[in-house]
Amino acid sequence: KKLLKYGAQYEGKRTDAAMQKWRSNRFGQFIHWGLYAIPGGEWKGKTYTYAAEFLKSSAHIPNSTWDSLQYQFNPVKFDPKTWAKMAKKMGVKYMTITTKHHEGFCLWPTQYTKFNIGNTPYKKDIIKALVDAYNSEGIDVNFYYSVLDWHHPDWRYDIKTKEDSIAFSRYLTFAQNQLKELAENYPSVKGFWFDGTWDQSIKKNGWWTLQVEQMLKSIRPGVVVNSRLRADDYGARHFDSNGKMMGDYESGYERRLPSPTDTQVIHRDWEACMTIPENQWGYHKKWDISYTKTPLELIEMLVQTTSLGGNFLLNFGPKPDGTIRIEEQQIAEHIGNWMKINSAAIYNAGHAKGWPRQDWGYFTQNETTGKLYAVVFNIPISGILKIQTLEGITISKASFLEKPDVPITVKEIAKKQVNLYLPQQSFSEPFVIILDTINENKNKYIDAKT
Ligand SMILES: COc1ccc([C@H]2[C@H](O)[C@H](O)[C@H](C)N2C)cc1
């Protein structure tokens, strides 16, 4: 065990109300919006297939050219209430907005750099508008902040010279001032989602990452900070050199989920962030240059995440005119229709402790009531959902969440094995079954003599 000054500051899940709210939210909307939305993955007539928010580096565009995009940023059709209403209907309980992505452009009128929304034709504070609109829909707002900053002259990828360390300490002061500004000026912020912390320069300044986290928590008690911010005394990230998670939740799942049998993750809070295309966070003019996930695939990801006790943050990349592209609106509507019926299996639900992975789908369990849900994605040809129960537990009743009066026959066929007989009907959407369980202390089945 190493003695660490900048490692994990506590172990186990936070149990305070703010963290319980963060956890119970389960489903969130990520929004990546910035100057990169203007070119939308295309430059000088060429389409770049790498992530659109990386176009500056993909197309080797110099700062002077890229930064002049700020004089074109004018989302005349931007209506934060429209976005917030869409998000509400989709069923998200939180939203995470890029206050500043790697390009360094700030969506709020920061006093620490001119490279911000105040110096665009649009002028107005987009962060404030979004915080107010989403909060008034009952949706919590978190701030994404990229420590990596392509624009700022004092940013360094590594610290090799005295000059580097002098410049970079100026940068760290700049970034800390910006974060203080965000925490103070938008008091309803519920979390900070740090990104752009993989370079040597940050790994050599773990002390700063802890200081920033502590500053934010002193200004906004209860605020939730992701593991991606932190580097420890030896430059270890997410998990310190003693293997302990840093920050309040593990945020390493980017465009990937843990396997449904990876029960390691259930011991901590975690969040998966997900793009709808294969790898586009910012707006790309060409929607189908890569595979785009269907609503049903995204719903399954949300349920799989919930079944493993994690949050699911689904990304949207708004257009430069301030509207949400139609493909994303349609996906939001489909998911929203499903959530309207089935959100009981998601909100304030998590891992069903001890229940083994099942072929037909996922268990989720309400954290407060203990109510057990079976979310079905794969109906067997037999029409029989076979459930392996826990030792001494059996299922006394099963009913559809959507249609409680449609009976589902339950038959215990052997020890820890129950059959559910689904009605002969076709299902076009995943559905939820509420399972009532009872503890059986007597064991009425004979174990096979092997
Ligand atoms: C180098 O590979 C990267 C670097 C940064 C990212 C950024 C994306 O732009 C987006 O903001 C995502 C959450 N983040 C990890 C993605 C891949």
Task: Please report the ipTM that was assigned to this predicted complex.
Answer: 0.99
Return per-residue pLDDT of the chain as tens, 450 residues. 999 999 999 999 999 999 999 999 999 999 999 999 999 999 999 999 999 999 999 999 999 999 999 999 999 999 999 999 999 999 999 999 999 999 999 999 999 999 999 999 999 999 999 999 999 999 999 999 999 999 999 999 999 999 999 999 999 999 999 999 999 999 999 999 999 999 999 999 999 999 999 999 999 999 999 999 999 999 999 999 999 999 999 999 999 999 888 879 999 999 999 999 999 999 999 999 999 999 999 999 999 999 999 999 999 999 999 999 999 999 999 999 999 999 999 999 999 999 988 999 999 999 999 999 999 999 999 999 999 998 888 899 999 999 999 889 999 999 889 999 998 888 999 999 999 999 876 556 666 666
Task: Identify the residue whose tokens are 């109510």.
Answer: 371
For residue 51, give the ligand 1 atom closest to its CA. Answer: 9
Gap from CA of 195 to ligand 1 centroid (Å) = 7
Which candidate, 116, 129, 130, places its Cα nearest to that of 71? Answer: 116
For residue 148, give the ligand 1 atom closest to its CA. Answer: 5
Instruction: Report the distance separating Cα 37 and Cα 75, nearest Å.
Output: 10
271 lines ligand 1 (CB under 6 A): no
For residue 146, give the ligand 1 atom closest to its CA. Answer: 11
For residue 196, give the ligand 1 atom closest to its CA. Answer: 5
CB 247 within 8 A of CB 226: yes
CA 432 to chain centre: 23
**CB neighbour list of residue 119: distance below 8 Å, 6 or more residues apart:** 70
Buried residues in 155-180 as b, exposed as e (16+ CB within 10 A) = bbeebeeeeeeebbeebbebbbebbe
51 lines ligand 1 (CB under 6 A): yes
For residue 273, give the ligand 1 atom closest to its CA. Answer: 13
Choice from 32, 48, 195, 237 to test ligand 1 binding pocket (greatest atom count within 8 A of CB): 195
**Bridge-based pairing state of the strands 393-400 and 361-366:** unpaired
Gap from CA of 149 to ligand 1 centroid (Å) = 13
CB 200 within 8 A of CB 159: yes
Bridge partners (DSSP) listed for residue 338: none
Choice from 143, 254, 283 to test ligand 1 binding pocket (greatest atom count within 8 A of CB): 254
Gap from CA of 102 to ligand 1 centroid (Å) = 9
Gap from CA of 439 to ligand 1 centroid (Å) = 47
pLDDT at 260: 80
Which candidate, 41, 43, 45, 64, places its Cα nearest to that of 54? Answer: 41
Residue whose Cα lies nearest atom 8 of ligand 1: it is 281
Choice from 29, 281, 283, 316 to test ligand 1 binding pocket (greatest atom count within 8 A of CB): 281
Gap from CA of 236 to ligand 1 centroid (Å) = 19
CA dist list (Å): 25 to 170, 302, 429? 37, 12, 23
pLDDT at 224: 98
Gap from CA of 401 to ligand 1 centroid (Å) = 38
Residue whose Cα lies nearest atom 10 of ligand 1: it is 281
pLDDT at 411: 97
Gap from CA of 281 to ligand 1 centroid (Å) = 8
Choice from 32, 50, 54 to test ligand 1 binding pocket (greatest atom count within 8 A of CB): 54
97 lines ligand 1 (CB under 6 A): no
**CB neighbour list of residue 431: distance below 8 Å, 6 or more residues apart:** 342, 375, 376, 400, 401, 402
195 lines ligand 1 (CB under 6 A): yes
273 lines ligand 1 (CB under 6 A): yes
pLDDT at 49: 98
Gap from CA of 258 to ligand 1 centroid (Å) = 18
**Cα angle for residues 222, 245, 211 (degrees, 5° grid):** 55
Instruction: Report the distance separating Cα 42 and Cα 282, nearest Å.
Output: 12
Gap from CA of 55 to ligand 1 centroid (Å) = 12
254 lines ligand 1 (CB under 6 A): yes
pLDDT at 446: 67
Query: What one-character DSSP code corresponds to residue 432?
Result: E
